[in-house]
Structure 1
Amino acid sequence: MTARRLLTRGNIGLALLVVVLLAMPNLASAFFVNFVLTQTMMLGVAAATIVFLARYGGMVSLAQFLLVGVAGFMFGNAAVEGGARGLNLGMNPWLAVVFAIVITTAVAFVLGALASRTTGLYFLMLTLVYAVIGFFVFAQIVELSGPGGITSIQRPDLMGPPVRLYYAGLVLSVLVYLGFKALGRATFGLTLQGVRDDPIRMASLGYNVPMHRTLAFTLAGFVAGLSGVLHVWWNGQIDPASIAIGPSLILLIMAVIGGISYFEGAWLGAFVYVLAFTYLRDLPLIDQIGITEARFNTVIGAVVLLIMVLSPEGLAGIAARVWRRVNKPASAAPTAPAGGPSSAA
């Protein structure tokens, strides 16, 4: 019975996709793997935290990229030694990773506790305020960053070759995807979904609704922190502009493009965005129709609008409908009445 549950079409498809992604460094150019796919993995993990909060908790957060940035800033402060800005703690890179994740998780816990008693639009706006405050904190406190940010951030020697960073992002993506899916069937995930659907009734049954929301936000912050460490390893620097309102909205756009109700949509939306950002402006004669770099966000807005009109559930929703239609069993052919046409007449 267990083997049958594991050998479903979805699991087989996921396994085949992972095999293809593992082989991508041998199938595609180094630029495509190290730039497009690596960014897709990192941003997909961050977008998956938005999907997790929205799908299981009914909480749409604009603070997730702030938490990505907190991890990056904390790693830079901990790992860099003798830099122009930051704390310059000079820690071992792997100890700096632990430091960054712990600080990010603690920040997520505090922010989640403050927002746990709000819902809907109020929760969305409060997390937007978090993103604004985070930007000014790192922009104005020179001891942590300052407007110029932290540069010359080196990743550990084990992650030296760029392809290893791609594989690290791939492994993290698979673990996050499977972990979030499994959490939806666990006690905490089921309780969180109950809180999403009817918080008053869950509270009357004895569940601590604010604590469940706080823990969900903390878990999402922990995962976003992992993405942030990979991101600062890949980029080699971080500055306050990288966690401003624009990037926070872009991360939400990725989740919406892919489908905010589907975990697969997090990586699908990230891939579409990175692909468009990388190649759209380089298409032949694209500038002749008015699509310049200054108007790229307008193009992305038009793409989002088109996808939402065609499918409010995003690209993953379209794929799910096609999958259900392909696998829908053929209906039985209608049979004539027992007495034949003459008797029916």
Structure 2
Amino acid sequence: MSSSPVSLRDLAMAAALVLLIVLPTFGSDYFVDNVMTETLILGIAASTLAFLTAYGGMVSLAQWLVFGVAGFAVGNVVAESGRGLRLGWNPWLGVVIALVVVVLVSLLLGALSARTTGIYYLMLTLIFAVIGYYFFGQVTTFSGFGGMSGIDPPGVLDDHPKRLYYVAVALSVLAYLGFRAAARTPFGLTLQGVRDDPVRMASLGFNVPLTRALAFTLAGFVAGFAGILNIWWNGQIDPNSINIGRTLDLLIIAVIGGIVYLEGAWLGAFVFVAAGIYLRDIPFVDNIGGFVGDRILAEERFNTVVGILLLAIMLVSPNGLVGIIIRINDWIARRRGTAKEPVAALEAA
């Protein structure tokens, strides 16, 4: 890849970071504290799926489960009343325990799925998601279907939504840069080799299942941070928040943005969140269904609209919104006579 596309990519991401930093100075409280904070949280979670897909060729449907495991771990450790273990421990200790639990669970799930590929990997991770949903629903020691509520973030973040927003910005930057850096390490190059030709990599002496398991563990570790942010933001969690619908939502987010692009995770998350909140402002939208409260479309109608949106994006660009941006950039470059390589401007590599 030439240096020019990479510098364009870095410039675009730097501009996006500057915008996120200054956004609270001119954006409304609702937009920053709700739309963008949720976007960043979902973007971090979706980036783990993009990382596994782009560099490992592993389309995992267990990322939302790991996301939820972190939230349930925090809830059980921090909450003082209600359902769960009700340990009432320090919130920061809850973060440490949650991350340890997430790493162990991710390592276990990664090891169990490491010898499968393609549709079998997809279905096995979907089974993990189903098992996780029923585990937290039926094992009342840790939650039950009623879930847990009243879970406050650490004091420094409590009642300070802008601080939580900036924490989400910082973790998004770390996740993005961390995944990019990991891809250039010997481990990342090995993972890409396993993605391209696992048989050849095994014949060269590389441990293919271990590489896949460790990649899944790394992705799970990052998803754990998103799960912690989510329960701090929501203040509650229940098994329905990690059901199959939410699991598929994360896949939809990644596909909308471009599932093989890290940048696409946050772009897809923004489109998904904004669609759920602002579609009601479209004229005559009330003719396609009711609302939940006064904020979003009814779930069944929203899913229909998102499905149509996803179909339109996929027909235009199988590589999602980032793919469309790349094609536009290449077209402009060709018109100027400066294009040197096709379709690579923002590629996650």
More divergent stretch after superposition (148-157 vs 180-189): 180-189
Cα distance in 1 between the residues matched to 2:204 and 2:234: 48
Q: Which position in structure 1 is the counterpart of 2:179?
A: 180
Go from structure 1 to structure 2 and tell me whether the alpha carbon gap of 1:274 and 1:197 turns closer, same or farther (over 3 Å shift).
same
Instruction: Give the equivalent residue in structure 2 for 1:339.
Output: none
Q: Work out the CA distance in 2 between the residues paired with 1:330 and 1:152.
A: 57
The question of whether the paired residues in 1 share the 8 Å contact of 2:288 and 2:301 is answered with: no
Gap regions ≥5 residues in structure 1:
333-345
Cα deviation, residue 8, structure 1: 2.4
Partner of residue 38, structure 2: 39
Unaligned runs of 5+ in 2: 291-296, 339-349
Q: What does residue 253 of structure 1 align with?
A: 252
Cα deviation digits, residues 274-304 of structure 1 (max 9, x gap): 0000110243421135575231101111111
Which TM-score applies when normalising by structure 1?
Answer: 0.92
Question: Matches of 1:10 and 1:298 in 2, distance apart?
Answer: 33
The two structures, once aligned, show a CA RMSD in angstroms of 1.7
Q: Give the match for residue 112 of structure 1.
A: 110
Q: 1:5 to 1:168 in 2, by over 3 A?
A: farther
Match of 1:140 in 2: 138
Q: Matched residue of 1:8: which SS?
A: helix
Give the one of 321, 325, 338 matched to 1:315: 321
In the alignment, the residues of structure 1 paired with residue 316 and residue 124 of structure 2 have an alpha-carbon distance, to the nearest angstrom, of: 30
Q: Which moved more, 1:181-190 or 1:7-16?
A: 7-16
- Structure 2 CA distance for aligned equivalents of residues 35 and 64 of structure 1: 22
Q: Give CA deviations for 1:148-179 in whole Å, capped at 9, x if unaligned.
A: 00111010011120011110111111111111
| In structure 2, C-alpha distance between the alignment counterparts of 1:262 and 1:37, rounded to whole Å | 20
Letter in 2 for 1:303: L
Partner of 1:340: none
Aligned-partner residue type, residue 134 of structure 1:
G
- AA aligned to 1:145 is S
Give 1:195's aligned residue.
194
Residues of 2 paired with 1:288 and 1:147: CA distance? 33
Aligned match of 1:73: 72
The one of 287, 301, 308 aligned to 1:302: 308
The equivalent residue for 1:204 is 203
What's the CA shift for 1:261?
A: 1.1
Matched residue SS, 2:237: coil
CA distance in 1, matches of 2:195, 2:8: 29
| 2:90 is the alignment partner of 1:89 | no
Of 173-182 and 278-287, more deviation after overlay is shown by: 278-287
- Partner residue in 2 for 1:228: 227
Partner of 2:22: 23
Number of corresponding residues: 328
Structure 2 equivalent of residue 325 of structure 1:
331
Residue of structure 2 in register with 1:102 after alignment: 100
The Cα of 1:109 is off from its aligned counterpart by 0.3
Shift of 1:17: 1.5
- CA distance in 2 between counterparts of 1:236 and 1:89 reads 16
Change (3 A) 1:330 1:280: closer
Aligned equivalents of 1:331, 1:277: Cα separation in 2: 41
**Distance change >3 Å, CA 150–CA 328, structure 1 → 2:** same
Q: C-alpha distance in 2, partners of 1:88/1:5?
A: 54
Greater shift in the superposed pair: 118-127 or 83-92: 83-92
CA distance in 2, matches of 1:218, 1:102: 11
TM-score (norm 2): 0.91
Larger radius of gyration: 1
Deviation sequence 1:235-272 (CA, Å, 0-9, x none): 00000000000000000000000000111100000000
Q: Which residue of 2 aligns with 1:219?
A: 218
Alignment match, 1:336 = none
